[in-house]
Structure 1
Amino acid sequence: MKFSFTGRYKGYNRKSLQKDIVAGLIVGIVAIPLGMAFAIASGVKPEYGLYTTIIAGILISLIGGSKFQIGGPTGAFIPIIFAIVMQYGYENLLIAGFMAGILLFLMGLFKLGGVIKFIPRPVTIGFTTGIAVTIFTGQIASFLGLQNLEKHEYFLSNMKELVKHIGNTNIYSVLVAAISLGVIILTPKFFSKVPGSLVGLLVSTLVATTLFSDQVATIGSTYGAISSSLPSVHFPDFSIDNIRMLIKPAFIIAMLGGIESLLSAVVADGMGGGRHHSNRELMGQGIANMITPLFGGIPATGAIARTATNIKNGAVSPISGIIHGIVVLLVLVIFAPYASKIPLASMAPILMVVAWNMSERKKFTHILRTKSAEALVLLTTFILTVFTDLTMAVEVGLILSAIIFIKHMSELLSVSKVLPDPTAVNEKVAPHMVSEHHNCPYISIYTVEGALFFGVADQFEKSIMDEMKHEPKLLVLRMNNVPYLDSTGESNFASITNHFEKKGGKVLISEIQNQPRQVLQNTHLDECIGKEHFFEQTGKAIDYALTQLNKSHCLGCKYYAFRECQQRAVPNVKEPLEIKPLEPNVIK
């Protein structure tokens, strides 16, 4: 794959650079408290979040497929990373992150960027809202200043632990958290360009340090001092046993990272104009996630909120994302010692607001109001995300969505017995012309509508096989409304053909679309049917069918299903009898 940057920098000039510097500076400032907060909530040291913001942020902007994408740690990863750290440990998290990077790169290399977009919306909204609930509730302990809580992997266990220690609420922590939350909410209303999370962090930290410095837990007292330098390159233990053990967590990281990065890129396209390259974006995300763990960083992806902030502040090119990473690096080197004094209670509201904003609450409620099968998928995915894990939630959500899709598609299949309507233009075939007293015993015509796939193929075969009890000589299948035929449908199709021909009959196909015809060609079923038995128009298929009938079969027949029937039944009669439309006889 060629990485050509000319398109993303076309017309770039000094004014563009100035805009990118301003946007990068603002996004970098916004990213600092978020990077630390996401790391702490994920169960790792805060500096690891900053390392991720710097390295992944620069690489994703530099080699990704979007002009405006800002990469780094995100809230969506918090429950996943926390669960991996709890179950496998931090070192194995780095291995899982590296493996996820390889998977993301391969997804992009094999052009699977479009496939990820096919995940149903109820599933993505369900697990996103579930993650938001997990993040929000996970910050209650820090908000209340509760200490010495045992961390658990599952939601209910953590809630029980919270209730168990609720009596130890620290009023000073609540005050600090309330100040931070208030400033975060009010700042955008009065100063729209100022990042509320940073102001809330600074103001609440200043209050806590000045008035009651020893009364609240801080980053330094909990995690130790933050290093002001990047770590050296460290290669984790990529043993076969570790790789086997971590393939499932790595796959979940890769899938969630791919989904979130492409959703963020789509949002960026809508806000900033242009069009992202989904496969190159996945490859860029993959490279970033392979390199970041070597420096101790956690998994990263496209951050929708920071990407939107980048665009709103005038970003022109990926340079703003690179500058955002450099800004975080400079702040880490210069101000790291001061960051140790930040109270955990100051950071809890930041993540609570992030959880609130990512909760998709309006879309969640909208889907619930439909009271449809999709609402069941949404609720199931949401509940499983909160009470079990994201892996189980997505798997069950996708399976339910597939079952619902198959059910809906099967309901759309219609197999209708038809006959020509002499009152219609070009005597088009219609089901209302068929009745007990108006039905050719030797030629059966069916209009098939809907996709013939594994979910409905048996239903299609049964509908046609029931007709064979009357042993017609010719079967005409009108397939102009069959857009898709899979291998199961082809197998049932072949069964019908073989069975019919063993009875001495012939199958004629009319108006078949390209995809089903190609399947029949690939399996050579078209040769078994006979290529001369495929017709572009149903009328021509009927004309051919009539020529295949022995005239003795038609003598004395009073059904008059076709225009030619009168002459064939009573050869001496010259004037055709009137054929009146009758009640429908539709098989579905």
Structure 2
Amino acid sequence: MFDHVRIYGEPLRCVDCLFARQRIGVFGVQLISGFSTSNIRGDLYGGLTAAVVALPLALAFGVSSGVGAIAGLYGAIFVGLFAALFGGTPSQVSGPTGPMTVVMAAVFTQFVAIDPNSGPILAFTVVIMGGAFQALFGLLRLGKYITLVPFPVISGFMSGIGVIIILLQLGPLLGHAAPGGVIDAVEALPAFIEQTNLSALLLGLLSLATLFFLPRRLATLIPSPLVALIIGTLLSLFLLRDDSLTVIGEIPTGLPSLQWPTFNADLFQEMVQAALMLAALGSVDSLLTSLVADNMTKTHHNSDRELVGQGIGNMVAGLFGGLPGAGATMRTVVNIRAGGKTPISGSVHALALLAIVLGAGPLAENIPHAVLAGILIKVGIDIIDWKFLQRLHRAPMFVVVLMLLVFGLTVFVDLVTAVLAGVFLANIITVKRLADTQIAAVQVISDADDEHDLLNARENEVLRQAAGRILLYHFNGPVSYGAAKGIIQKLQQAQKHDALILDFSRVPMIDVSTAMAIEDMIVDSQAACREVYVIGTNDVVHNVLSRMQILRLLPERCLHEQRESALEAAYSHLDKVIAG
């Protein structure tokens, strides 16, 4: 009964009828994707469980970013709430993630170093701009393209992010302040080891051990990050009592104040670049988590709507001084396993964290940095793509080189360069392989002595009668720009003919580069006094050739729908030329 309704360009199918009433708002606009009160108990429990998992991670990400623990909580609250309300993955829980925190730390450090006074505001303006770009990606319906990044690039990138997180947390684990970047962390490591704070190291290692070895039965009741946080904090307060331990310190309570965006004309290019990086990374991170949620719930998310929701969440987070976020895989999995299915669970997760900020902020002030470092090192270890690394030696050499290149650029250069270089190289190789396949699929038929399965009896007979004077150039499948030069070279290898037939009967599409290569083939053949015939063009191919004004090079008698009629026309014309 809802087949006639279209939402975000997609028809509302019968399988959606369960949530139809709640999904359709004013004038058929979908307000909250997948909203339903039929699973309220599971959503409440899932949201609360996800909040318990998110609390220590948000604090750790906030401290790691350099902005402060409260920024991590604000990010979890605002991104979590608005991405749930306006996103396209009902069961997804969003908030600060490892990759987003790494980028935000770099952005914050960059702008504070340039201008200590306005740098923090510029950094949060970048977060707002990144959210706006994300929403724009969704409105432009780019969601389906963002997850097309090749797997070796994603693997190298994510593994690099994991290593960055680990290297940056080695300092706090040993009782020292986190260095500004990866190179600084590596250079400072010998001094950190030499001046190790044993209390901090003990707490960090205890946190790591808790995360790795907490019994699974207990972990289902209380998430291991929270257990590590509680044990480490209590141990530092009542047993160690080491004044040299650095702790989170004062955490503001109450609602955050609004921070209007500020722009700097001299830094605008850097701000746009950083915002695009946040937007691209957040989009990939979120949509990959959406795929995990789909696999667990046997549903299908709306990629474009998810980008809009994530963008709105990040814009609001930036306005209130929160870290940027994305779909968080760990929190989403915990939510689904605890029974969360609809956006209510993501909203409950955010509201529960808001309640903590409003009333329980002082309880987190004594959490040692070393405990958070242990939690984040576990996050970094989990982000590394161990599954693919274990099989890296079995992969083709190009895949290995590509993955390691992206990994190295991510860790030691920057994330933008890593992704752009990886995608560029992967696409170049892919285009080359596709071009080779397309060129190999082209059949050049002129031998009158052979029977060709492609041709019927009459067509074979015409070729035999032509005695090699007709060359049939049969394209097979789509022809892309990568194959354009190759198809010309293949034609140049067969010069002994008086007529050329270009057979597009099995070509679903061509691009402009291919069309221009076709023009060169026609012009060169006509210059050599050869007749050229074009046959079998469908609407797509015909439109491209027409728009590029290529078909006007040929008279009407040289345009045919069927191969047989073109062969007979070519043979008849050649006979007339010889007779004349």
TM-score range, shorter chain: 0.7 to 0.9
Does structure 1 conserve the Cα–Cα contact (< 8 Å) formed by 2:130 and 2:275? yes
What SS is found at the alignment partner of 2:216? helix
Q: Write out per-residue CA displacement over residues 324-344 of structure 1, whole angstroms, 9 at most, x where no aligned residue.
A: 011111122222112111111
What amino acid is aligned across from residue 289 of structure 1 in structure 2? N
What SS is found at the alignment partner of 2:129? helix
Does structure 2 conserve the Cα–Cα contact (< 8 Å) formed by 1:509 and 1:534? yes
Of the three residues 229, 232, 238, the one matched with 2:257 is: 232
Q: 1:517-528 to 2 correspondence within 5 Å?
A: 517-528=542-553
What SS is found at the alignment partner of 1:455? helix
Per the alignment, residue 282 of structure 1 pairs with 307
What amino acid is aligned across from residue 523 of structure 1 in structure 2? M
What SS is found at the alignment partner of 2:471? strand
What SS is found at the alignment partner of 1:549? helix
Q: 1:25-104 to 2 correspondence within 5 Å?
A: 25-89=48-112, 90-104=120-134
Q: Write out per-residue CA displacement over residues 498-524 of structure 1, whole angstroms, 9 at most, x where no aligned residue.
A: 222233322123344553333112223
Per the alignment, residue 172 of structure 2 pairs with 142
Per the alignment, residue 35 of structure 2 pairs with 9
- Structure 2: distance between partners of 1:281 and 1:170: 44
What SS is found at the alignment partner of 1:384? helix
The Cα shift of 1:283 comes to 0.9
- Structure 1: distance between partners of 2:298 and 2:479: 40
- Please say if 1:379 is aligned against 2:404: yes
Does structure 2 conserve the Cα–Cα contact (< 8 Å) formed by 1:33 and 1:198? yes
Over 3 Å counting, the alpha-carbon distance change for 1:473 and 1:226 in structure 2 is same
Over 3 Å counting, the alpha-carbon distance change for 1:176 and 1:423 in structure 2 is closer
- Structure 2: distance between partners of 1:289 and 1:524: 47
Structure having the higher Rg: 1
Q: 1:534-573 to 2 correspondence within 5 Å?
A: 534-550=559-575, 553=578
- The range that moved more, 158-167 or 526-535, is 526-535
User: Normalising by structure 1, what TM-score?
Assistant: 0.86
Does structure 2 conserve the Cα–Cα contact (< 8 Å) formed by 1:410 and 1:455? yes
What amino acid is aligned across from residue 70 of structure 1 in structure 2? V
Aligned residue pairs, count: 541
Per the alignment, residue 583 of structure 1 pairs with none
What amino acid is aligned across from residue 542 of structure 2 in structure 1? R
Q: 1:64-463 to 2 correspondence within 5 Å?
A: 64-89=87-112, 90-145=120-175, 147=176, 151-153=179-181, 155-193=182-220, 194-220=222-248, 224-412=249-437, 413-414=439-440, 415-419=442-446, 421-422=450-451, 424=453, 427=456, 440-449=467-476, 451-463=478-490
- Structure 2: state its 5+ residue gaps: 1-7, 9-27, 113-119
What amino acid is aligned across from residue 202 of structure 1 in structure 2? I
The Cα shift of 1:484 comes to 3.9
Q: Write out per-residue CA displacement over residues 426-467 of structure 1, whole angstroms, 9 at most, x where no aligned residue.
A: 647999x99xx9983421122334643333312222322343
Over 3 Å counting, the alpha-carbon distance change for 1:376 and 1:516 in structure 2 is farther
What amino acid is aligned across from residue 8 of structure 1 in structure 2? G
Does structure 1 conserve the Cα–Cα contact (< 8 Å) formed by 2:459 and 2:567? no
Seq. identity, %: 29
Does structure 2 conserve the Cα–Cα contact (< 8 Å) formed by 1:418 and 1:429? no
Does structure 2 conserve the Cα–Cα contact (< 8 Å) formed by 1:78 and 1:135? no
Does structure 1 conserve the Cα–Cα contact (< 8 Å) formed by 2:410 and 2:417? yes
Does structure 2 conserve the Cα–Cα contact (< 8 Å) formed by 1:217 and 1:343? yes
- Structure 1: state its 5+ residue gaps: 556-588
What SS is found at the alignment partner of 1:219? coil
Over 3 Å counting, the alpha-carbon distance change for 1:324 and 1:493 in structure 2 is same
Q: Write out per-residue CA displacement over residues 521-579 of structure 1, whole angstroms, 9 at most, x where no aligned residue.
A: 22232233345434444333222222222268499xxxxxxxxxxxxxxxxxxxxxxxx
Per the alignment, residue 19 of structure 1 pairs with 42
Over 3 Å counting, the alpha-carbon distance change for 1:368 and 1:386 in structure 2 is farther
- Structure 1: distance between partners of 2:270 and 2:577: 75
The Cα shift of 1:31 comes to 0.5
Query: RMSD value over aligned CA atoms?
Result: 2.6
- Structure 1: distance between partners of 2:466 and 2:389: 52
- Structure 2: distance between partners of 1:552 and 1:236: 77
- Structure 2: distance between partners of 1:411 and 1:459: 8
What SS is found at the alignment partner of 1:508? strand
